[in-house]
Chain A
Amino acid sequence: DTAVSQTPKYLVTQMGNDKSIKCEQNLGHDTMYWYKQDSKKFLKIMFSYNNKELIINETVPNRFSPKSPDKAHLNLHINSLELGDSAVYFCASSPDSGQGPALHFGNGTRLTVT
């Protein structure tokens, strides 16, 4: 299937732990993103990478570190997890060319910090 896939789907962990979320796309897109969706369903961009290069880094704590080993993968590592990090994290990708373009989203990772 052509898609954006994220793992894991659910992540429950305690405050202070370090965790990672993986994302892969096989759409051949050059740009990948991480978005955070809070409890009120508001989607906010965190990072974007184009062909392994960091392009957008919104006001996100340094505890969040994205890593792109190649243009098909964008992982998110979170250090010293806090209660406020609980949210759904969506990975997305988009092509470089074309009008728009539209982002294609993964199914999200629901992170719960206790």
Chain B
Amino acid sequence: EDKVVQSPLSLVVHEGDTVTLNCSYEVTNFRSLLWYKQEKKAPTFLFMLTSSGIEKKSGRLSSILDKKELFSILNITATQTGDSAIYLCAVGSGGSNYKLTFGKGTLLTVNP
């Protein structure tokens, strides 16, 4: 069975801190690793990673994938209160039966 494990499960930091969120996985027929941010409603897409060692960056957020060691990290620098959310790691697998398998998420709380 496909498995995605995120750590830590929750994290409380102060504004301005840098955080690193971890995601490890075991899946068959890997296609991609995705990060989503969930606030009150739908998960919103952040990054998709398919190749090892290539950093994806968007503003203060960045992510990298290691396909040999089967993990990814999501970094957030200079955190702001608006970064408070659940960060979900998901792995895309399968061909015609493609699906995303999600981890349990990291609840990030950024205090002023």
Query: Is there an interface contact between A42 and B92, defined as CB atoms closer than 8 Å?
Result: no
Interface size band for A: 20 to 34
Given contacts A33-B99, A45-B101, A100-B34, contact A107 B50 (CB under 8 A): no
Q: How many angstroms between the C-alpha atoms of A90 and B44 in the bound complex?
A: 12
Contact of A107 among B42, B90, B98, B100 (CB under 8 A): B42
Given contacts A100-B32, A100-B48, contact A50 B42 (CB under 8 A): no
Given contacts A99-B48, A100-B31, A100-B32, contact A41 B100 (CB under 8 A): no
Residues of B close to A45: CB separation below 8 A: 99-101
B41 proximal to A (CB < 8 A): yes
Q: How many angstroms between the C-alpha atoms of A90 and B90 in the bound complex?
A: 15
Query: Is there an interface contact between A31 and B50, defined as CB atoms closer than 8 Å?
Result: no
Contact of B99 among A42, A56, A107, A108 (CB under 8 A): A56
Q: How many angstroms between the C-alpha atoms of A102 and B32 in the bound complex?
A: 9
Closest A-chain residue to B43, C-beta based? A105
Q: How many angstroms between the C-alpha atoms of A46 and B41 in the bound complex?
A: 19
* Total interface residues in chain B, CB < 8 Å: 25
Q: How many angstroms between the C-alpha atoms of A49 and B97 in the bound complex?
A: 9
The B-contacting residues of A in range 49-93, CB under 8 angstroms, are: 50, 55-56, 90
Residues of A close to B48: CB separation below 8 A: 99-102
Distance from B28 Cβ to chain A, minimum over Cβ atoms (Å): 14
Closest A-chain residue to B41, C-beta based? A107
Query: Is there an interface contact between B31 and A41, defined as CB atoms closer than 8 Å?
Result: no
Chain A contact residues, CB within 8 Å of chain B: 4, 31, 33, 40-45, 48, 50, 55-56, 90, 94, 99-108
Q: What are 26 sample pairs from A and B whose C-beta atoms fall under 8 A apart?
A: A41-B38, A41-B104, A41-B107, A43-B88, A43-B102, A45-B101, A48-B98, A48-B99, A56-B99, A99-B32, A99-B48, A100-B31, A100-B32, A100-B34, A100-B50, A101-B48, A101-B92, A102-B48, A103-B90, A105-B43, A105-B44, A106-B42, A107-B41, A107-B42, A108-B41, A108-B42
Listed from nearest, the 3 A-B pairs whose CB atoms lie closest are A105-B42, A100-B32, A43-B102
